[in-house]
Structure formats: C-alpha cells, structure tokens
Amino acid sequence: MRHAVGTVIGVGNALKNLKKSQKNALKVHVTLLDLHFATVARQLVVLMLLDAMMAADEGGIERLELQATAVYLCIGTVIPRYCHERYYRNLPPSMLI
C-alpha cells in the first residue's frame, strides 16, 4: 500500500510542475498486487476514501470522518460506528456483499 500511496503523492507533486496541456494529457496507471485478495480490497477502499476526501469540503466534518475512517482501516482492529457507516456509504454497490 505504501508504494501505491507514494506513487499517488509523487504524481500529485509532479502535476504542480506541468503545463496545462501536459496535465490534460497525463494518464496514470497503478497496479496493486498482494497474495491476499482482502489486502487489495482494503487498499482499494482506502484509495476510494482518499478520492472522497479530495471532493469533500476542507475543514468540514465529512472530511474529518473520511480521514478517521482511512486511519482506522489502515491501523485499527476496531473502528467506531461513525467510521463503519462512512465506510459503507463510500463503497460501490459491486463491493457490497
């Protein structure tokens, strides 16, 4: 996961130095590999939470909940109810069981 997040951060930093035409032409591909499918699924969910954070209002409660949810998913064994609810609200229907 750290390599995928590092790549996303690196691309974000590189975007700052590109011209507008180069930004529009940029396409990024990231491949997530792991022996365990659950690990890849968790990584995808964290990346989706990061995407939702970018769309949320800066300093708003939604953004704070998304940040907390991402942290609990990465390092926690138990997550608060509001993070659990936020987690399920951000899952696409294809990932729901």
State whether 42 and 16 are in the same domain: no
Q: Which long-range contacts (CB under 8 A, 24 or more apart) does 2-5 make?
A: 4/30, 4/32, 4/43, 4/47, 5/50
- The share of the chain scoring above pLDDT 70, in percent, equals 96
Query: How many folded domains does the chain comprise?
Result: 2
pLDDT of residue 76: 82
pLDDT of residue 97: 67
State whether 52 and 16 are in the same domain: no
State whether 64 and 87 are in the same domain: yes
Q: Which domain holds residue 61?
A: 34-97
Please give the average per-residue pLDDT across 40-59, as a whole number.
85
State whether 21 and 49 are in the same domain: no
Q: How confident is the model at residue 2 (pLDDT cuts 50, 70, 90)?
A: low
State whether 23 and 38 are in the same domain: no
Q: Would you say the pTM of this structure is higher than 0.75?
A: no
Please give the average per-residue pLDDT across 76-80, as a whole number.
88
